Structure 1
Amino acid sequence: MDHRMLAVEDPATGQRITAVPNAGPADVDKAVRAAADAWPAWRATDRHAALASCAVVVEEAAAVLAPVLTEEQGKPLREAKAEFTKAAARFRYFARSRLEPAVVGDGPVAAITPWNFPVQLAAAKLAPAFAAGHTVVLKPSPRTPLTTLHLGRMLTEVLPPGVLTVLTGQDPLGEQLVAHPGIRKVDFMGSSATGKQVAAAAGWHRLTLEVGGNDPAIVLPGTDPAAIAERLFWSAFANCGQIGMAVERVYAVGSAYDGVVEALADMAANVVVGDGRTPGTQIGPVNNRPRYDRVTGLTAEARADGARIVTGGPLEGPGYFFAPAILAEAHDGMRVVIEEQFGPVLPVVRCSTVDEAVGLANATAFGLCGSVWGADEEYAAEVAARLGCGTVRVNEHPAQSADEPFAGSRWSALAIRG
Structure 2
Amino acid sequence: MADQIPMTIGGGDVATSGAFDVVDPATGLPFGSAPECTEAQLDEAMRTAQDAYRTWRKDEDARREILRASADAVLAATDDIAPLLTQEQGKPLADAQMEVRSVALWLRYFANLEVADEVLADDENVHIRVERRPLGVVAAITPWNFPLSLAAWKIAPALRAGNTMVLKPSPYTPLATLKLGQVLAPILPAGVLNVVSGSDPLGANMTSHPVPRKISFTGSVGTGKYVAAAAAPDLKRITLELGGNDPAILLDDVDPQAVAEKLFWSAFRNNGQVCSAVKRVYAPESKYDEVVEALAAVARSAKVGAGIDPATQLGPLNNRPQRDRVENLVQDAVSRGAQAVTGGARVDGPGYFYQPTILRGATDGMAVVDEEQFGPVLPVLPYSSVADALERANGTNFGLSGSVWGADADRAEAVAEELDCGTAWVNTHLALRPDQPFGGAKWSGVGVENGHWGLSSFTETKVLHRSRR
- Shorter-chain TM-score tier: over 0.9
How far, CA to CA, are the matches of 2:164 and 2:211 in structure 1?
Answer: 12
Match of 1:257, SS state, is helix
- The Cα of 1:100 is off from its aligned counterpart by 3.8
Aligned partner (choices 262, 270, 281) of residue 231 of structure 1: 262
Match of 2:348, SS state, is coil
How far, CA to CA, are the matches of 1:403 and 1:187 in structure 2?
Answer: 18
Q: Is the 8 A contact 1:222 1:255 kept in 2?
A: no
Q: Is the 8 A contact 1:251 1:348 kept in 2?
A: yes
Q: Is the 8 A contact 1:112 1:188 kept in 2?
A: yes
Matched, 1:8 2:22: yes
How far, CA to CA, are the matches of 1:135 and 1:351 in structure 2?
Answer: 49
For 2:55, the equivalent position in structure 1 comes to 41
Letter in 2 for 1:64: D
For 2:467, the equivalent position in structure 1 comes to none
For 1:390, the equivalent position in structure 2 comes to 422
Matched, 1:70 2:86: yes
Counterparts of 1:164-179 in structure 2, within 5 Å, are 164-179=193-208
> CA-atom RMSD, angstroms?
1.4
- The Cα of 1:18 is off from its aligned counterpart by 1.0
Q: Is the 8 A contact 1:195 1:209 kept in 2?
A: yes
Counterparts of 1:264-279 in structure 2, within 5 Å, are 264-279=295-310
How far, CA to CA, are the matches of 2:366 and 2:360 in structure 1?
Answer: 12
More deviation, 369-378/320-329: 369-378
Match of 1:370, SS state, is strand
Letter in 2 for 1:299: V
Match of 1:403, SS state, is coil
How far, CA to CA, are the matches of 1:301 and 1:65 in structure 2?
Answer: 39
Aligned partner (choices 157, 181, 189) of residue 186 of structure 2: 157
Matched, 1:205 2:231: no
How far, CA to CA, are the matches of 2:281 and 2:17 in structure 1?
Answer: 44
For 1:287, the equivalent position in structure 2 comes to 318
Q: Is the 8 A contact 1:222 1:256 kept in 2?
A: no
Match of 1:330, SS state, is coil
Matched, 1:86 2:99: no
Match of 1:136, SS state, is strand
Letter in 2 for 1:172: P
How far, CA to CA, are the matches of 2:378 and 2:108 in structure 1?
Answer: 36
How far, CA to CA, are the matches of 2:434 and 2:310 in structure 1?
Answer: 30
Letter in 2 for 1:295: V
- The Cα of 1:398 is off from its aligned counterpart by 3.3
How far, CA to CA, are the matches of 1:3 and 1:311 in structure 2?
Answer: 48
- The Cα of 1:414 is off from its aligned counterpart by 2.6
For 2:246, the equivalent position in structure 1 comes to 215
How far, CA to CA, are the matches of 1:192 and 1:182 in structure 2?
Answer: 25
How far, CA to CA, are the matches of 2:114 and 2:252 in structure 1?
Answer: 47
For 1:243, the equivalent position in structure 2 comes to 274
* TM-score using structure 1 length: 0.97
More deviation, 226-235/350-359: 350-359
How far, CA to CA, are the matches of 1:3 and 1:365 in structure 2?
Answer: 43
Q: Which deviations, in whole Å up to 9, do the C-alpha atoms of 1:303-356 show, x marking residues without a partner?
A: 001000000131110000111100001100100000001111000111122211
For 2:401, the equivalent position in structure 1 comes to 369
From the superposition, tell whether residues 3 and 216 of structure 1 become closer, same or farther in structure 2 (CA, over 3 Å).
farther
Runs of 4+, deviation exceeding 4 Å: none
Q: Is the 8 A contact 2:239 2:445 kept in 1?
A: no
For 2:13, the equivalent position in structure 1 comes to none
Letter in 2 for 1:16: P
When Rg is computed on C-alpha atoms for both structures, the one with the higher figure is 2
How far, CA to CA, are the matches of 2:137 and 2:104 in structure 1?
Answer: 22
- The Cα of 1:215 is off from its aligned counterpart by 0.2
Match of 2:303, SS state, is coil
Q: Which deviations, in whole Å up to 9, do the C-alpha atoms of 1:186-228 show, x marking residues without a partner?
A: 1111111111111112232111111111000011123211110
* TM-score using structure 2 length: 0.87
Letter in 2 for 1:48: R
Match of 2:312, SS state, is coil
For 1:348, the equivalent position in structure 2 comes to 380
How far, CA to CA, are the matches of 1:91 and 1:235 in structure 2?
Answer: 25
Q: Is the 8 A contact 1:109 1:185 kept in 2?
A: yes
How far, CA to CA, are the matches of 2:168 and 2:335 in structure 1?
Answer: 40
For 2:46, the equivalent position in structure 1 comes to 32
How far, CA to CA, are the matches of 1:3 and 1:336 in structure 2?
Answer: 42
Q: Is the 8 A contact 1:99 1:132 kept in 2?
A: no
- The Cα of 1:405 is off from its aligned counterpart by 0.9
How far, CA to CA, are the matches of 1:151 and 1:95 in structure 2?
Answer: 18
The alignment-based identity, stated in percent, is 53
Match of 1:216, SS state, is strand
Match of 2:355, SS state, is strand
Match of 2:337, SS state, is coil
Letter in 2 for 1:232: L
- The Cα of 1:3 is off from its aligned counterpart by 8.3
Q: Is the 8 A contact 1:406 1:414 kept in 2?
A: no
Matched, 1:311 2:327: no
Aligned residues: 417
How far, CA to CA, are the matches of 2:293 and 2:432 in structure 1?
Answer: 29
